[in-house]
């Protein structure tokens, strides 16, 4: 079978199964079984599928994922996350679009302590969206910041998907986690600037209101008490990795333990909250790891069928400049992001993309950050962006779905601008890892 026929068969079957509504994990497993029978040789191929499945989920580099998810789950179920939002609400005063600004600032802090984009969006949506709508905020001004900052969670460590990308792509996980810090905070700053400018130009979008005068400790005390420990946990995780004191897995474990200790000190960790946090961590981790089960075998099938080498050789033989190839890769990711989830994007594209990254001698960390931004945009782009569905689940039924799509589009454009800046100045992604990791 010619390589392009093999590729058409594999991706054609995958498309049919996913369109038919089969869960992603089962779709990849089905493709793996078919591919193993054709290219690995009958029963021996099926045995290889089982071996690959075991090897994929026992990969040590994936162990930070449940720890990072646990950090966010503990914060949400103990109520400490809500105290953090209240602290920012007290501290931030006299700013145009104040509640939207609170959303971005609080969401950025959550991104630095939580490994789940969906959890961040759901929490901010359930707590702040009703308040903003009640204060007369335009639905777009209320919903847009919540979805946008939820996507930034993917860039700012700890991030479960960053760990997964580093593992599947063979990129330094600690380097990739640190590389997302500057672009992530840069995007948050862009969002803040946009909100303030819009609120100044169109005050009717975000009406000001008197929330009561607070001064001194009443204003700044809760920020010091409730937010400082979370910032210190973020610093602890980053310093432990960058100084070489701990591996990414050990740093994740330290962060999870520190989060639990903080909640114990604040007397907010109950048995029920801990059980709920562990259950949520298990559920999310199992979904991710079950999809990963199909990753190794799928990549091997693509290689054995000749599809990987055939496509890579075709691109290399075309004599295209590197910027044209990179532009095509970004376009593929942005299009895929409109229709499939982020893990599926990685499984589908990385077997083809990483050989091209090596061929053009691109910095893996730089490419990894560009890849993460593309996936972050995929969370926000209609019609199937995951955070759009999350917002739909918490927004009032009176708000039509097209309004949710419209609310997020300015932030999608800002995400594209951030990606252009990273493409033009790679040091935005590689500078901090070079400084901290002495690359």
Q: What is the pLDDT of residue 295?
A: 66
Please say whether the beta carbons of 180 and 157 come within 8 A.
yes
Spatial separation of the C-alpha atoms in residues 247 and 249, rounded to whole Å: 5
- How many Cβ atoms sit within 10 Å of the Cβ of residue 262? 21
pTM of the predicted model over 0.75 = yes
The per-residue pLDDT for 143 is: 92
Tokens of 139: 């639905």
Q: What is the model's pLDDT at position 330?
A: 93
374 CA to centre of own chain: 10
Print burial letters for 349-382: b (CB count within 10 Å at least 16), e (below 16): bbbbbbbbbeeeebbbbbbbbbbbbbbbbbbbbe
pLDDT at 211: 58
pLDDT at 115: 60
pLDDT at 370: 95
Q: What is the pLDDT along the chain (439 residues), one digit of tens a residue?
A: 677 788 888 888 887 887 787 777 778 788 888 888 887 777 777 777 777 777 777 777 778 888 888 888 888 888 887 888 888 888 887 788 888 998 898 888 877 776 667 777 877 888 888 888 888 899 999 999 999 988 787 888 878 888 888 888 888 888 998 999 999 999 999 999 999 999 999 988 888 765 566 677 777 888 888 888 888 888 888 888 877 788 888 888 998 899 999 999 888 888 998 999 899 888 878 877 777 777 667 777 877 777 777 888 888 777 788 899 999 999 989 888 877 778 778 888 888 899 899 988 999 999 999 999 998 898 888 877 888 888 888 888 888 989 999 999 999 999 999 999 999 999 999 999 988 876 5
Angle, helix 139-152 to helix 117-134, in steps of 10 degrees: 160
Residue 141 backbone phi and psi in degrees, to 5? -70, -30
Q: What is the model's pLDDT at position 364? A: 93
Name all contacts of 213-220 with Cβ < 8 Å and 24+ positions apart.
214/90, 214/93, 218/90, 219/90, 219/91, 219/93, 220/91
323 Cβ contact partners less than 8 Å away, ≥ 6 residues apart: none
pLDDT of residue 116: 66
Distances (CA, A) of 85 to 95, 105, 140, 223, 392: 16, 9, 21, 9, 22
Distance CA 149, CA 129 (A): 14
């Amino acid at each position: 079978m010619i390589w392009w026929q093999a590729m058409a068969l594999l991706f054609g079957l995958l498309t049919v199964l996913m369109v038919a509504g089969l869960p992603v994990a089962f779709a990849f497993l089905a493709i793996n079984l078919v591919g193993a029978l054709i290219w690995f040789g009958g029963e021996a191929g099926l045995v290889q599928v089982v071996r690959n499945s075991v090897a994929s989920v026992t990969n040590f580099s994936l162990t930070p994922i449940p720890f990072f998810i646990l950090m966010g789950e503990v914060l949400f179920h103990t109520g400490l996350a809500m105290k953090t939002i209240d602290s920012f609400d007290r501290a931030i005063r006299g700013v145009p679009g104040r509640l939207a600004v609170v959303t971005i600032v609080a969401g950025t802090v959550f991104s630095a302590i939580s490994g789940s984009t969906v959890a961040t969006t759901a929490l901010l949506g359930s707590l702040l969206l009703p308040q903003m709508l009640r204060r007369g905020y335009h639905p777009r001004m209320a919903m847009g910041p919540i979805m946008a900052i939820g996507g930034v969670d993917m860039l700012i460590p700890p991030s479960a998907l960053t760990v997964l990308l580093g593992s599947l792509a063979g990129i330094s996980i600690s380097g990739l986690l640190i590389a997302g810090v500057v672009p992530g905070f840069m995007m948050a700053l862009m969002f803040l600037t946009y909100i303030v400018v819009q609120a100044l130009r169109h005050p009717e979008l975000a009406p000001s209101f008197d929330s009561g005068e607070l001064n001194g400790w009443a204003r700044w005390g809760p920020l010091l008490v409730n937010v400082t420990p979370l910032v210190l946990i973020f610093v602890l995780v980053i310093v432990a990795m960058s100084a070489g004191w701990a591996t990414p897995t050990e740093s994740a474990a330290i962060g999870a333990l520190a989060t639990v200790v903080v909640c114990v000190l604040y007397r907010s960790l109950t048995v029920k909250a801990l059980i709920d946090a562990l259950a949520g961590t298990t559920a999310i981790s199992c979904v991710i790891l079950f999809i990963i089960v199909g990753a190794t075998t799928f990549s091997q099938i693509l290689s054995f069928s000749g599809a990987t080498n055939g496509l890579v050789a075709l691109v290399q033989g075309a004599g295209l400049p590197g910027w044209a190839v990179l532009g095509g890769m970004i376009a593929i990711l942005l299009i895929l992001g409109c229709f499939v989830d982020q893990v599926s994007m990685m499984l589908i594209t990385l077997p083809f993309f990483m050989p091209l990254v090596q061929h053009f001698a691109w910095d893996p960390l730089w490419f990894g950050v560009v890849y993460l931004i593309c996936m972050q945009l995929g969370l926000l782009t209609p019609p199937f962006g995951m955070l759009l569905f999350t917002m739909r689940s918490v927004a009032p039924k009176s708000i039509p779905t097209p309004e949710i799509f419209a609310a997020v589009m300015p932030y999608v454009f800002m995400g594209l601008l951030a990606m252009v800046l990273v493409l033009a100045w790679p040091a935005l992604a590689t500078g901090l890892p070079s400084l901290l990791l002495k690359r």
